[in-house]
Amino acid sequence: MHQEYNVTDPRTLRKQYHEVREKINLARARRGDPGPEVVLVAVTSNAEPEDIRCLLEMGHVDFGEHRVQNLQQRVAMVEEFLERHRTLTPSRNVNVPPAVRWHMVGPVKRNKLRLMLRQVKLTHTISNLRIAEDIQNAAIQNDEQVDVLLQVNATRNKKLPGLTVPAALHVAELIDTMIHLQLRGVTATPPPADCALETARLIYQRCRETFEEIKTTGIGGSKFNMLCMGNSRDYETAIETGANVVCLEQAIFGEKNAAAPDKAKTQPA
């Protein structure tokens, strides 16, 4: 069943967005080692077009999608908005960015890979070697290099997607030999919805340790610098643990009218 968000007026959306930004900054400060700025990816799967335009007018740059079909629609809509802004209202809404970065935060079926790769800056869900090989083959056909994140499942629930912690380094080594893939870092399989924050913290700590282990080998070089963890329930905990990328949906756009399990990074589009 399609899930819609509660209607969010622009004023409320702007307030929620700025609150998220403030919480991100406070979480960075609490971890004692602020490190790089945290990249906030606004996941737009159920957002209304006017909500996305509102974020653009605030200067937001990074957007994420779970499904290729949604991605195509969102990319076209955003490009139309940006082009209209450039040509018709160049002096208005000065915060509107010249371009945006799209992230694929859900798994993708093999037959949609080439289409997806033409539209995204970063693919988050390399959850096994076969997916990496499929993306490598699609990238060869497109004659392009693709930035990817290795998905690590540190929850110890084997039913969830993602590489186990012991397997992650080996797969990272294999990806490093694929000339059309650039391994940028690690993304964490989301903890279960009923997971306590302290349990989530332990999961994220294991992911950070995996990230650091891979980084010390030199895999990915200086570009291996992204640790994506957290969701709308626990992103502050994830940032305190070391995340420098967070993908958020409800925290920005509001709660859904009907509860549904988080399908991000789990079901192919």
DSSP bridge partners of 148: 123, 183
pTM reported for the whole predicted model: 0.91
CATH topology classification for 10-253? TIM Barrel (3.20.20)
43-68: per-residue pLDDT in tens? 999 999 999 999 999 999 999 999 99
Higher pLDDT among residues 33 and 238, named by residue: 238
Question: Domain map of the chain by residue range?
Answer: 10-253
* High-pLDDT (> 70) share of the chain, %: 89
197-227: per-residue pLDDT in tens? 999 999 999 999 999 999 999 999 999 999 9
**Beta carbons within 10 angstroms of residue 145's beta carbon:** 12
DSSP letters along the chain, please? ----BPP--HHHHHHHHHHHHHHHHHHHHHTS---SPPEEEEE-TT--HHHHHHHHHTT--EEEES-HHHHHHHHHHHHHHHHHHHHH-TTSSTT--S--EEEE-S---GGGHHHHHTT-SEEEEE-SHHHHHHHHHHHHHHT--EEEEEEE--SS-TTSSSB-HHHHHHHHHHHTT-TTEEEEEEEEPPPPTT--HHHHHHHHHHHHHHHHHHHHTTTTGGG--EEE---TTTHHHHHHHT-SEEEESHHHH--BSS-----TTTS--
* Mean pLDDT of the region 249-260: 72
73-112: per-residue pLDDT in tens? 999 999 999 998 888 765 565 789 999 999 999 999 989 9
Position 87 scores a pLDDT of 84
Position 89 scores a pLDDT of 66
Position 4 scores a pLDDT of 47
Position 9 scores a pLDDT of 86
